[in-house]
């Protein structure tokens, strides 16, 4: 990922938003959730996200802030909302897996810098449809999942996976959204 500023390895031409929807209006106090100060940048690379999720920047900021609040810490993250092809490229470049995935997390290059999360619209839409969930709820879950990875959570072993799933369920409850793990074996 080199020495580029945070988020630069993820982006192409885009719309950046750190506090407001399409009109740049703040619907929420920017980046503050339960008293935890957060710096959350949303990079809207694929404008189709706006039709898939109303007020998508606000949805992303709230999900990321709720994940930081769950971990009882503030923090900074850049969230890239993009399409399957960009995530496929990132997945191939950074994980050696040449296929799209729903969400990728990239830890910061240096302490104190924001980490990055990339989310693929096509994958999110397909997964939401298959699970009978809204795209908004699934996006919220995946943003929280990505931020939890940046905060040290993982799901490689069963115990870690259970802890991460419980944290995600609590985050979704904070957001008044359905538990994504309810009914999953």
Query: Which H or E element spans position 143?
Result: helix 135-150
Residues belonging to the chain: 185
Q: How far apart are CA 136 and CA 166, in angstroms?
A: 20
132-137 — which CB contacts under 8 Å span 24+ positions?
133/178, 133/180, 135/52, 135/53, 136/53, 136/54, 136/59, 137/172, 137/177, 137/178, 137/180
- Residue 15 labeled ligand binder: no
- Residue 94 labeled ligand binder: no
- Residue 145 labeled ligand binder: yes
DSSP state of 102: S
What does DSSP say about strands 32-33 and 36-44: parallel, antiparallel, or unpaired? Answer: antiparallel
Q: How far apart are CA 88 and CA 97, in angstroms?
A: 8
- How many secondary structure helices (H) and strands (E) does the chain include? 6, 6
Please enumerate, by residue number, every residue annotated as part of a binding site for Zn(2+): 145, 149, 155
Please enumerate, by residue number, every residue annotated as part of a binding site: 145, 149, 155
């Amino acid at each position: 990922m080199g020495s580029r500023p945070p988020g630069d390895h993820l982006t192409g031409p885009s719309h950046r938003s750190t506090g407001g929807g399409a009109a740049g209006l703040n619907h929420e106090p920017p980046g503050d959730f339960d008293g935890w100060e957060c710096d959350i940048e949303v990079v809207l690379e694929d404008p189709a996200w706006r039709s898939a999720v109303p007020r998508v920047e606000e949805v992303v900021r709230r999900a990321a802030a709720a994940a930081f609040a769950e971990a009882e810490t503030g923090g900074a993250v850049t969230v890239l909302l993009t399409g399957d092809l960009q995530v496929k490229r990132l997945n191939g470049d950074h994980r050696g897996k040449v296929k799209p995935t729903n969400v990728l997390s990239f830890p910061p290059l240096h302490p104190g810098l924001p980490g990055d999360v990339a989310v693929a619209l096509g994958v999110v839409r397909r997964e939401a449809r298959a699970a009978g969930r809204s795209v908004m709820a699934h996006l919220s879950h995946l943003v929280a999942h990505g931020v939890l990875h940046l905060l040290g959570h993982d799901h490689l072993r069963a115990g870690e996976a259970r802890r991460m799933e419980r944290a995600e369920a609590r985050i979704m409850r904070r957001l008044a959204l359905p538990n994504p793990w309810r009914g999953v074996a």
